[in-house]
Structure 1
């Protein structure tokens, strides 16, 4: 047997270099401090960033929905059970206050008209009778009894006319212009445009029927944006608010915050913010999904690369360079994220060096 190749192989295996038990490891850790051996290539894999404060306008984007301003919206139901005899408007038409909408005829309205006209006639007769009795007394030919009867009759007629007038006003009718048998003319209480109409000529409707018309003023709308409770400070000292629509990416619509809800939604932990926007070109449609961008006034702000921040349980931390090969884990509080950078609220000060890239080499197991 030829033992020479075997001996050569054994010699080669035994001649491989072994790490000395006394050789120091590449990384050593003591609490939150990590030390890297100076003779290792690991240091060349780390890139450092010097923290600085820069003038920055913080921006916050939030999903939002377009809403009609409640005071600029009205639903027009029928005032009483009756039959629609005429429509005075069409879908999309602009209307002003008191613009005629539709006419409705009803036996109830007819009875209210007749009761008012009868009460008015009785009042006129009682008024004339009272004047006559007063004139007779003045000329010494009348009696006190007849005068008292005339005064009583006048008071009762006046009360009856008041009741009949109130009953007619329930139908939103002007008593002095009411003509017996004439249908009730329903008018618009606001300025706006007809958003929907379900008027059918000749249809009979009841008091509990759905609204026949929906009218809204859309030249100004509300945009309802929802932000996280942690982002609430970001909308203080605002420089501007803009609303954008995906269908019109180049169009930015300025807005103004009119209300911030005083409660947090328990399920989503969001807070509703209402933004008023001019909408003369009708670019914003009620129910449309839009994006709201809040921009604060320019303030000194500290941003660092987002990849420099690590998570441990529910805390964020970075590695701060304290010497050429020593690094300390520093817990920080983060704010908004913009692109590849993240805002640091607490934990760092300007002119500190942190590991901007390669920090995962210092954080084994994460």
Structure 2
């Protein structure tokens, strides 16, 4: 009986010791201060789960990759016309281009023929009227005919501006299209607004078409559109490339790679940046137990890195692993 009683006492003591041990091993919750800008971990084991990278400045290189679409191709005319045929992927642009050409023809007709003829008629009418061989009403009618031709000329020029604006906003220059050689293809690609400063007319790019996975193509930036899309903040580029073999068809998709380089700039891995309500943030390791949230101004992305203009300093340690856990603690979700 005494041995049983002793065993019960020992089991109770062991159970109490076990609970105390578990209580001592329970991890300490992190301390969040200053509206989430400072996070302190008392448990060093949890703190070690986060990985960091020391911030430095230097040159970075990489590819900016975007999707491109063959928006137009230039073909020769089988009817013997001196003008080439331009095929557009967008039917509206095809209509704009056709009407623009027609308005230009009308302008030449009105300027070189109609107006000159009316001016000759008016000079003759004035002479006849001066010598009493034409009434004042007949002279007025001749003047009105010239004024109508001048009005027609103004209307044609106004119509050209409308169609020209539509073509240019889509990345096409009407004058270039008229002078384009047979066997030319034009690829249109959308680029983020914040990347445009790293690209210029004449830059060479590498192109991979879905239809020809084993073929490599190169193109050259011929124009950068004058308009930024209000909704997407994208800018259109027009890329010219050789299509003498007629392999490229209007509407084909491709991946376009632009080689980018930035010198003497601070950058962080793309994964180190969190975006909340349109603002960009990183987390900086302050010491062996604390992280600090920083608002940063970022620039273009080059490869898997993002240029940072302000908010961090050379030599600091930016968190590259465990970002989502810190974001949840800092912002409360």
Q: Structure 2 length as normaliser, TM-score?
A: 0.55
Matched, 1:350 2:314: yes
> Residues of 1 paired with 2:198 and 2:287: CA distance?
36
> CA, structure 1 residues 295+346, in 2 after alignment: closer, same or farther (shift >3 Å)?
farther
Q: Which one has the bigger strand percentage?
A: 1
Which of the two has higher C-alpha Rg? 1
Q: From 281, 306, 310, give the equivalent of 2:270.
A: 306
Aligned match of 1:277: 241
Q: Does 1:328 align with 2:292?
A: yes
Matched-pair contact (CA < 8 Å) for 2:64–2:259: yes
**What's 1:34 paired with?**
39
Q: Distance in 1 between matches of 2:52 and 2:44?
A: 17
| CA deviation after TM superposition for structure 1 residue 345, in Å | 4.2
Structure 2 residue 281 is the aligned partner of structure 1 residue 317: yes
Q: Deviations over 1:1-52 (max 9, x none)?
A: 98777655554444421758xx994532321122233x63123222221122
1:43 maps to 47
Name the CA shift for 1:279/1:298 in 2 (closer, same or farther; >3 Å): farther
8 Å contact from structure 1 (residues 60, 336) kept in 2: no
Show the counterpart of 1:227. Answer: 191
Structure 1 Cα separation of the partners of residues 279 and 246 of structure 2 = 46
Cα–Cα, structure 1 residues 13 and 339, in superposed 2: closer, same or farther, change >3 Å?
A: farther
Unaligned segments of structure 2, at least 5 residues: 84-179
SS in 1 for 2:20: coil
Q: Verify: 1:56 aligned to 2:60, yes or no.
A: yes
2:69 pairs, out of 40, 65, 69, with 65
Retained in 2: the 8 A contact 1:237–1:297?
no
Shifted more, 282-291 versus 340-349: the winner is: 340-349
C-alpha change, 1:328 and 1:252, in structure 2 (3 Å) is: same
When residues 33 and 232 of structure 1 are mapped into structure 2, their CA distance, relative to the original with a 3 A threshold, is: same
Deviation, 1:64, is 1.5
Greater fraction helix: 2
Q: Deviations over 1:240-294 (max 9, x none)?
A: 3233212334544332322222223345443221122222333422222122222
Tell whether the 8 Å contact from 2:63 to 2:303 is kept in structure 1 after alignment.
no
- SS of equivalent residue, structure 1 residue 248: coil
| Pairs within 5 Å for 1:142-181 | none
Q: Distance in 2 between matches of 1:291 and 1:63?
A: 5
* CA separation of 1:68 and 1:283: change in aligned 2, threshold 3 A: same
**TM-score using structure 1 length:** 0.50
Work out the CA distance in 2 between the residues paired with 1:251 and 1:297: 26
User: Cα offset for 1:54?
Assistant: 3.1
Q: Aligned runs of 1:246-285 on 2, under 5 Å?
A: 246-266=210-230, 268-285=232-249
Aligned counterpart, 1:130? none
